Amino acid sequence: MMYGVSQFGYLVASALFIFALHWMNAPTTARKGVYAGGWGTAIAILVTWAEPSVIHHLWIILPIVAGFVVGVPLSRVPLTAVPQRTALSHAFGGAAAGLVGTAEYYLRLSEGVEFLTPFRMVALIAEIILGYLTLTGSLMAAGKLQEIKWVPQRPVTYPGQNVINLLLALTAIVLAGAVAMNPAAPWAPAAFAVIIALALLFGVLLIIPIGGADMPTVIAILNSYAGLSAVAMGFVLDNKLLITAGALDGSSGLILAIIMCKAMNRSFTNVLFGAFGQVQQAKAGAEERVYKSETPEGAAQALEQASSVVIIPGYGMAVAQAQHKVRELYDQLKKRGITVKFAIHPVAGRMPGHMNVLLAEADIPYTDLVEMDEINPDMPQVDVALVVGANDVVNPAARTDKSSPIYGMPIIDADKARSVFAIKRSKNPGFAGIDNELYFSDRTWMLFGDAKNVIGELVKQFAGPGMH
Amino acid sequence: MDFWPTIYVFVLATFIGLGVIRRVSRLLHTPLMSLTNAISAIAVVGAILVAGGDYPLRIRVLGAIALFASTTNIVSGFLITDRMLRMFKTDKPSGGAA
């Protein structure tokens, strides 16, 4: 009887999860998706809690209360910190899977070794490897994104890096095979612990060679791993809800990672093992070239005379928290009857969709946020392209320069606009460390400074008495 | 144990996932990630069984930590997704372009 009730509950929860994701296909229905997901989770928790085997209720209430105490503030972080929060939550998800897997193994070892069939052991070891790897990998990613001091920002590479990683992975796989076949052997618990240590280490090693520009892909991959570790847990516990929910999460991470890779014209293996940031030295030593600088006054005049303006935001906008100032500029331009659109590159920012959320926060209607492929055909008719803290995603070298590390990456064709104003924090190259051809074009004028200050200056020009 | 049914569920759910996620608006990829994160915190089910069962203390401690981590993801995941989604509007609120 109880079995039927809980299975029915799980089935309903699975259906709700699928609806939740389905409703994410449009901003108008998306919030319904959150409620569907919330109800699904609540039902699953209640029917599980009602299982007769669950008897220590305080052991459930206290962690749940603690989860609320930490979870509520974590949901109120500023939106610029959303990439870090996301990485952190992948770490939590990985930790949960790893810990449950560890508990299951040592529990069954002492009471009920017959539970540990080879299939369950393979799933269990997959669960802990993915779980612990996601834990440390995501913590590293979160540390990089938060720019914590002792976490290296630049990619860390050393000779033989991939060989060492490969050897570690092989060791883990061999140990895993041995433990899966002999889960109750006297040496097995120790080997199991070694696998855990290797997975924790592997997570760190996998992330240190990865640069900031690759973070969107890496976060998506970690998302996928966290989902797959839940699937593995579902195999161990023979729980189809866990398998379904984990598979949904896993495929979501996979699709996002594929989109990110396509948007950078790179492969998974290249992101994970390529250490992008290291390629930059290729063009050092080229002759010094000069930028044309422009004052906010001049830029404001050009903007006022334009009839269509495209704003191209990048990570620099997020760093400077400039989205609200951008909104003020947007209002000023709209007020003068100028068409304003935002061109969003899939990998702009540090996670998929990062720019959209920041601009939505600043109350910019999402109907004015246009995808790269949609806006590019219109770029030659655009009077002013305003680049706000974006760099590689507008670098024309991606189209023309075969020696460039970003060659082949689809870009927003800012250089085709009639004029370009680029706001940039400093004269240094961007995160990927590549010189940007766009800045030297004769149609481009640079506005050096913090994005928030520069846009603020522009807005002042419009709001001031001088211009009407 | 016959594990084939679970493999079936996994494969079919993956196909559903790929089909559904592909249609998600690109505008919403950040909330999508926090939503799937909250959903995959369904690992909470395993954590409850371990933390609340009649098992040795050290086992239940592991379960309780996992339960805490999953609950954190559920709570913060759903809340922040909703918070972000509320920001997506078609028109500016009143008076924006006066």
Per-residue pLDDT at A283: 45
Residue A88: C-alpha distances to residues A83, A170, A219, A365 (Å): 9, 28, 10, 29
Half-sphere exposure of A213 (CA within 13 A, CB side): 27
Per-residue pLDDT at A198: 96
Per-residue pLDDT at A111: 83
Helix A2-22 to helix A240-264 angle (10° resolution) is 20
Among the partner-chain residues A48, A77, A365, the one whose CB lies closest to the CB of B45 is A48
At CA A465, angle to CA A331 and CA A317, rounded to 5? 35
Assigned domain for B55 exists? yes
Inter-chain residue contact B41 with A361, CB threshold 8 Å: no
Helix B57-87 to helix A354-361 angle (10° resolution) is 60
| Token pair listed for B82 | 């909703």
Assigned domain for B7 exists? no
* Helix, strand or coil, per DSSP, at residue A129: helix
B23-29: average pLDDT: 92
List all residues of chain A from 351 to 380 with a beta carbon under 8 Å from chain B. 351-354, 356-357, 360-361, 363-367, 369, 371
Measured between beta carbons, which residues in chain B are less than 8 angstroms from residue A77? Answer: 80
Assigned domain for B30 exists? yes
Instruction: State whether residue A38 sits within 8 Å of chain B by CB.
Output: yes
Per-residue pLDDT at A282: 42
Assigned domain for B43 exists? yes
Residue spans per domain, chain A: 1-76, 77-274, 296-463
C-alpha span between A325 and A318 (Å, rounded): 12
Instruction: State whether residue A1 sits within 8 Å of chain B by CB.
Output: no
Q: How far is B41 from chain A (nearest CA, A)?
A: 6
* Contacts for A175 with CB less than 8 Å, ≥ 6 apart: A191, A194, A195, A198
Residue A460: C-alpha distances to residues A299, A300, A326, A384, A464 (Å): 12, 9, 12, 19, 6
Instruction: State whether residue B8 sits within 8 Å of chain A by CB.
Output: no
- Name the residue with tokens 């939106």: A79
* Per-residue pLDDT tens listing for chain A (468 residues): 678 899 999 999 999 999 999 999 999 999 999 999 999 999 999 999 999 999 999 999 999 999 999 999 999 999 888 999 999 999 999 999 999 999 999 999 988 888 889 999 999 999 999 999 999 999 999 998 888 877 777 778 788 888 888 899 899 999 999 999 999 899 999 999 999 999 999 999 988 888 777 888 889 999 999 999 999 999 999 999 999 999 999 999 999 999 988 888 888 777 766 554 444 444 444 455 677 888 888 899 999 999 999 999 998 898 888 999 999 999 999 999 999 999 999 988 888 899 999 999 999 999 999 999 999 999 999 999 999 988 888 999 888 888 887 888 899 999 999 999 999 887 665 555 567 888 888 889 999 888 999 999 999 988 876 555
Per-residue pLDDT at B3: 86
Number of domains in chain B: 1
* Contacts for A174 with CB less than 8 Å, ≥ 6 apart: none
Cβ atoms within 10 Å of A320's Cβ, excluding its own: 22
Strand ranges inside A356-426, DSSP E: 369-371, 384-388, 419-424
Assigned domain for B54 exists? yes
Q: How far is A422 from chain B (nearest CA, A)?
A: 24
State yes or no: pLDDT of B1 exceeds 70: no
Inter-chain residue contact A365 with B92, CB threshold 8 Å: yes
**Domain covering A296-463 in this structure, CATH number:** 3.40.50.1220
Instruction: State whether residue B86 sits within 8 Å of chain A by CB.
Output: yes
Which residue of chain B comes nearest to A362, CA vs CA? B87
* Contacts for A259 with CB less than 8 Å, ≥ 6 apart: A346, A352, B26, B29
The phi, psi pair for A291, rounded to 5°, reads -90, 155
H or E segment and range at residue A341: strand A339-344
Q: Does the active-site annotation cover A373?
A: no
The phi, psi pair for A154, rounded to 5°, reads -75, 150
Q: How far is A14 from chain B (nearest CA, A)?
A: 10
Residue type, A205: L
Q: How far is A54 from chain B (nearest CA, A)?
A: 5
Answer whether A454's CB lies under 8 Å from A432's CB.
Answer: no
Helix A323-335 to helix A354-361 angle (10° resolution) is 70
Per-residue pLDDT at A434: 63
Q: Residue B64's domain spans which residues?
A: 25-87
Inter-chain residue contact B73 with A93, CB threshold 8 Å: yes
Inter-chain residue contact A55 with B54, CB threshold 8 Å: yes
Please, is A299 exposed, middle or buried when counting C-beta atoms within 10 Å of its C-beta (0-12, 13-18, 19+)? buried
Q: A313 has which bridge partners? A: A388
Inter-chain residue contact B21 with A21, CB threshold 8 Å: yes
Give the pairing type, strands A444-448 and A339-344.
unpaired
Strand order in the sheet with A308-313: A369-371, A339-344, A308-313, A384-388, A419-424, A444-448
Measured between beta carbons, which residues in chain A are less than 8 angstroms from residue B67? Answer: 60, 63-64, 67, 96
Instruction: State whether residue B1 sits within 8 Å of chain A by CB.
Output: yes
Inter-chain residue contact B67 with A239, CB threshold 8 Å: no
- Pick from A416, A387, A422: nearest CA to A400: A416
C-alpha span between A83 and A138 (Å, rounded): 11
Among the partner-chain residues B5, B59, B64, the one whose CB lies closest to the CB of A107 is B59
Instruction: State whether residue A194 sits within 8 Å of chain B by CB.
Output: no
C-alpha span between B91 and B50 (Å, rounded): 49
Instruction: State whether residue B72 sits within 8 Å of chain A by CB.
Output: yes
User: Which string of DSSP letters, residue by residue, matches A84-116?
Assistant: HHHHHHHHHHHHHHHHHHHHHHHHHHHS-GGG-
Per-residue pLDDT at B96: 41
Q: How far is B59 from chain A (nearest CA, A)?
A: 5
Cβ atoms within 10 Å of A399's Cβ, excluding its own: 16
Instruction: State whether residue B53 sits within 8 Å of chain A by CB.
Output: yes
